[in-house]
């Protein structure tokens, strides 16, 4: 058991919707105080508000405040905004916003979220917004005029732009315009499950990889289709190089995870080992590749 836990000491999960349930004082897939013992060294806590909310930005700020208070009370958790702030022996928590509808009214909303410590900004959710189009809405439409303005202004801020949920055209537009690090935090591979357009396309993957970013596979049965997490990771590694593969479970945001929670990531590791991946390869996929991106902030 100790050997397995040691191998998993470098898990950095790029997308979990846990804040939504922390604010409601509910537990689903993740018990944050257990994450360190389950092999996590880092996690991105995404703050999601439904697009139909009357005041998405206000609701998001309330949720973020709740998350910050929660994390600061837990000895095993540590809020961080940059790589050099990370602490050993803790689960380093990076804050994110999921969906541009939270901050697409005025750019000052982005500045306010940045001031609260958010460093990962997902441009769309399943819905399009004032900034960009989503994959499920219209995969051939990209950034709006306002969206292009936001991306140019974001060059001055140390933030990671997250392309999960975004249309292929949005990804291409962002990668062409931005100077920020770019990732897809929780996206399965569209070519392996083409019936679900929410999955990320090869042109979008290529654009992210050319910017030095990573694509993190999530653990939803519906997203994965008939293939496994390892199959999706293997596709990324074989076609685009191992340095671009990562994991973003989408725990607490999905209802059909192929593993029950963070403790089950040992199953992913065993499957990767069985497929011929070395321990050093798995460390890169589980955390090292994202940490390379995070160092750029």
pTM, to two decimals: 0.96
- Structure confidence at residue 278 (pLDDT): 95
Q: What is the pLDDT of residues 169-194, one digit of tens each?
A: 999 999 999 999 999 999 999 999 99
Mean pLDDT throughout 143-157? 98
pLDDT at 95: 99
Task: Return the CATH number of the domain spanning residue range 2-294.
Answer: 3.20.20.140
pLDDT of residue 7: 45
The residue-averaged pLDDT of 247-261 equals 97
Report which of residues 124 and 5 the model is more confident about: 124
User: Which sequence spans correspond to the domains of the chain?
Assistant: 2-294
SS3 per-residue string spanning the chain: CHHHHHHCCCEEEEEECHHHHHHCCCCCCCCHHHCHHHCEEEEEEEEECCCCCCCHHHHHHHHHHHHHHHHHHCCCEEECCCHHHCCCCCEEEEEEEECHHHCCCCHHHHHHHHHHCEEEEECCCCCCCCCCCECCCCCCCCCCHHHHHHHHHHHHCCCEEECCCECHHHHHHHHHHCCCCEEECCCCEHHHCCCCCCCECHHHHHHHHHCCCEEEECCEHHHHCCCCHHHHHHHHHHHHCHHHEEECCCECCCCCECCCCHHHHHHHHHHHHHCCCCHHHHHHHHHHHHHHHHCCC
* Residues 6-26: tens digit of each pLDDT: 444 489 999 999 999 999 999
The fraction of the chain above a pLDDT of 90, given in percent, is 97
* pLDDT in the model for residue 2: 31
Mean pLDDT of all residues in 119-142: 98
4 — pLDDT class (breaks 50, 70, 90): very low
pLDDT per position as a tens digit, 201-214: 999 999 999 999 99
The predicted pLDDT at position 226 comes to 98
Predicted confidence at residue 3, as pLDDT, reads 34
List, for residues 32-41, the tens digit of each pLDDT value. Answer: 999 999 999 9
Q: Is the pLDDT of residue 228 over 90?
A: yes
């Amino acid at each position: 058991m100790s050997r397995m836990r040691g191998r998993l000491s470098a898990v950095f999960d790029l997308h979990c919707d846990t804040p939504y349930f922390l604010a409601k004082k509910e537990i689903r897939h993740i018990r944050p105080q257990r994450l360190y013992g389950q092999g996590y060294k880092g996690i991105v806590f995404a703050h999601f508000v439904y697009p139909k909310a009357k005041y998405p930005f206000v609701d998001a700020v309330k949720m973020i405040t709740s998350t910050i208070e929660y994390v600061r009370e837990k000895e095993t958790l540590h809020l961080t905004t940059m790589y050099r702030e990370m602490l050993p022996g803790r689960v380093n928590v990076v804050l994110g916003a999921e969906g541009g509808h939270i901050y697409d009214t005025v750019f000052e909303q982005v500045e306010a979220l940045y001031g609260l410590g958010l460093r990962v900004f997902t441009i769309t959710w399943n819905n399009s917004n004032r900034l960009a189009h989503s994959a499920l809405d219209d995969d051939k439409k990209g950034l709006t005029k306002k969206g292009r303005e936001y991306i140019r202004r974001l060059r001055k801020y140390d933030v990671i732009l997250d392309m999960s949920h975004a249309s292929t055209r949005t990804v291409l537009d962002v990668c062409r315009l931005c100077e920020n690090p770019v990732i897809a935090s929780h996206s399965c591979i569209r070519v392996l499950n083409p019936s679900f357009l929410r999955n990320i396309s090869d042109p979008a993957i290529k654009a992210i990889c050319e910017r030095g970013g990573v694509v993190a596979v999530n653990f939803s049965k519906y997203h994965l289709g008939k293939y496994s997490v390892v199959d999706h990771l293997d596709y990324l590694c074989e076609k685009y190089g191992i340095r671009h593969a990562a994991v973003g479970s989408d725990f607490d945001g999905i209802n059909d995870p192929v593993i029950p929670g963070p403790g089950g990531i040992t199953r992913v590791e065993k499957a990767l080992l069985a497929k011929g991946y070395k321990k050093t390869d798995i460390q890169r996929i589980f955390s090292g590749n994202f940490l390379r991106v995070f160092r750029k902030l």
